[in-house]
Amino acid sequence: MNGDGLLTHVLDPSDKGQDECGVFGVWAPGKEVAHLAYFGLYALQHRGQEAAGIATSNGENILIYKDIGLVSQVFHEKALASLDGHLAIGHVRYATTGQGSWVNAQPTLGATEFGTIALAHNGNLVNAPELISLVKEESGADLRGEIGHGSSTDTAVVTALFGATRGEASIEDVAMKTLPLLKGAFSLVFMDEHTLYAARDPQGFRPLVLGKIDDGWVVASETAALDIVGAKFEREIEPGEFVVIDGDGVRSRTFAASKPRGCAFEYVYLSRPDTVISGRNINSVRNEMGRILAREHKVDADIVIATPDSGTPAAIGYAQESGIPYAQGLVKNAYVGRTFIQPTQEMRQRGIRLKLNPLREVIQGQRIVVVDDSIVRGNTQRALVKMLREAGAAQVHVRISSPPVQWPCFFGIDFPTRAELIANSLNLDEICEQIDADSLGYLSHEGMVRAIGLPAEKLCFACFNGDYPIPVDVHTARISGC
């Protein structure tokens, strides 16, 4: 609910960690780059559902079209046809710190010594206030670009910093001077009138990949976006790497030493199941999480069901490992997104049914294992267990394919404050009682690491254990940014 009592999410928004953004860039002379960006953003829609935008350049001018809404709601054929050029960048946004208004939609535009840039960002900068002060120092009291016109995103701060930086020979040199100043999570795509650029923070918190499309190149948050536009995956943009793409091909520069700490929650929930990160297929990782979960938390039950869609791969793995049959116990309404129609009090209380409805003939009289990817506040699981019991379930055993979420994220996921996280204030038995389950089991930290299949020291588990890879002042760092 928002402050006016409107149903802004059909499930409690705080019960899923929301990634803030997805980014896409393409350099492909002779192709309809705006259409490629549109389809790329469509593949990244899960990373942000509140605003979308595309900027293109024809070599002389940068054109931009952005608005509040889903990709399919923001763009139409006339808008895409007006965005001509040989390169484009795009962005989908989940509004958190900055209000969900047009001024905070991306890409952002800004003037530099070398022309205009458009910039899109996935992540969160923990030193945004320092950067704003630096912009003021470099340019006087003038807050440049969109930050000077009311934007409250750290993306606008970065754009303004590019514009305030003086005395360099090119945008590339400006970037090499600016990027080391940014602290936190950032996967950036940006462009001037001629060139596409991309950069990834030294920890590589958020994914960013490079693909080849005929004689052109694509940069995207996930490999699934490469697939949808017919691009071939080449490699990941490395942590601390700055990439330049133009008519001479791809050039790479290092602006900071690589210290990989990729987000573990990308594997748990955020990324699409058909995406590959660090050589690991997300669907396979989630399936393995379910298998290990079944070994760690056995139970006598009749069927295994998933909380669709994010819990499905782990639920299948749990069923395969436990030998308990997998069944479709819940039907998801694929057409329910965010709604701003004010519901009645009764409908607010039953909001989960707008998105999920039980198959009574499957559930009635059964001992059920229901698998989900995470619990944040517990509201969704409480409503879900109640719904399954009303449908006649004999027992409801909840299994979670990740450890308890106990700490906020400062690197690009919208989690509530620590005080609002149910696992911070309650132990396992108390959480089980709160959601009215017959039993509750979380995947262990060790089990999650085994399922991901990467060295633990190369992953970020801060939301699970409070070990932040870079220093964070929890009093001044914003929980979210882009």
* Residue positions annotated with a catalytic role: 21
- How many C-beta neighbours within 10 Å does residue 294 have? 26
Count each helix (H run) and each strand (E run) in the chain, helices first.
17, 25
Q: 464 CB contacts (<8 Å, ≥6 apart)? A: 264, 402, 403, 404, 405, 406, 407, 445, 448
Helix (H) or strand (E) holding 171: helix 171-178
User: What is each CA distance from 188 to 107, 201, 206, in whole angstroms?
Assistant: 10, 9, 10
The radius of gyration computed from the CA coordinates of the chain, to the nearest angstrom, equals: 23
Is 436 known to sit in a ligand binding site? no
Contact 121, 187 (CB under 8 A): yes
- How many C-beta neighbours within 10 Å does residue 386 have? 15
Is 263 known to sit in a ligand binding site? yes
- Strand pairing of 303-306 and 367-372? parallel
Is 409 known to sit in a ligand binding site? yes
Is 248 known to sit in a ligand binding site? no
Is 460 known to sit in a ligand binding site? yes
Q: Is the peptide bond before 309 cis (omega within 30 degrees of 0)?
A: yes
Q: Return the structure tokens found at 482.
A: 């882009």
Which residue do the tokens 């996280």 mark?
421
Measured CA to CA, the distance from residue 418 to residue 450 in angstroms comes to 27
Q: Return the structure tokens found at 30.
A: 């002779």
Contact 94, 444 (CB under 8 A): no
Phi/psi region, residue 448 (left: phi>0; alpha: psi -120 to 50; beta: rest), is: alpha
Measured CA to CA, the distance from residue 95 to residue 51 in angstroms comes to 8
Measured CA to CA, the distance from residue 279 to residue 289 in angstroms comes to 17
Q: In degrees, to the nearest 5, what angle opens at C-alpha 382 toward C-alphas 367 and 439?
A: 40
Q: Which residues are annotated as a binding site for Mg(2+)?
A: 310, 372-373
Q: Which residues are annotated as a binding site for [4Fe-4S] cluster?
A: 263, 409, 460, 463
Q: Which residues are annotated as a binding site?
A: 263, 310, 372-373, 409, 460, 463
